[in-house]
Amino acid sequence: MAGRRPEFDKTSALDAAMLVFWKKGYVGASLADLTGAMGINKPSLYSAFGNKEALFVLSLHQYLEKHAKDSLAHLDAEGKSLRQRISGFLLATVRGQLGEETPRGCYLAQGLSETAGEGLPQAAIQALKAADEENMRQLVHFFRSDPESQRLGLDLQADRAALYLVTLLHGTASLSRSGRCKSELEGILELGLRGLGLGLDEEGHLPLQ
């Protein structure tokens, strides 16, 4: 009697699928791309994760947990000014977009860019838009509730400030995929901080840290 085939590591397989979707998007990622990266066959993929659509949604959640959550944590860092906390968030996000061990860009931004087309299934669109709305919700809450933000009056335009940061980071995600370097993107972040009305240092510069 033949021995049972050893079980594959679902977490590692999901990580591999996440990287494929991150690099190629939903439409560009074929089942052959996915199963090849995950080290499994199609029946195993369907058995463990459902269809391609379900795998994409699971991979999105994996991305948010492993690659987006830590960036947002910078906003709540203790003992730092508002500028330092926002710059920490922006820098961490952009450095993730330029990661050497991951595809360039942003999984969420890449997916959202596909929602205007016809190749993305409805469940994937809903998951992407829900993730985008949750990011916005957290940023709006930050600007409304942070004491320094309130002193600067940013709480009165929290929705616009949050959308400003999201727009900025979607732009850097696109630029990182096109090959722009770290210094170029960090220069954009400096101007982004200026756009929020955050102060310059004594030399007239707006350092990120």
Give the C-alpha separation, 88 to 148, whole Å: 16
Rounded CA gap, 16 and 193, in Å? Answer: 35
Percent of the chain at pLDDT > 70 equals: 91
Q: Please list, in sequence order, all residues whose beta carbon lies within 8 angstroms of the beta carbon of residue 149, skipping any fewer than 6 positions away.
A: 82, 142, 143, 155, 158
Cβ–Cβ < 8 Å for 103, 23: yes
Name the residue among 101, 91, 98 with its Cα closest to residue 70: 91
Domains of the chain: 62-195 (1.10.357.10)
Alpha helices in 115-198 (DSSP H): 122-145, 147-152, 158-177, 182-195
Residue 2 pLDDT: 44
**Chain position carrying tokens 């931004």:** 109
pLDDT at 32 over 50: yes
pLDDT number for residue 198:
85
What are the tokens at 169?
């980071």
129-168 pLDDT tens trace: 999 999 999 999 999 999 999 999 999 999 999 999 999 9
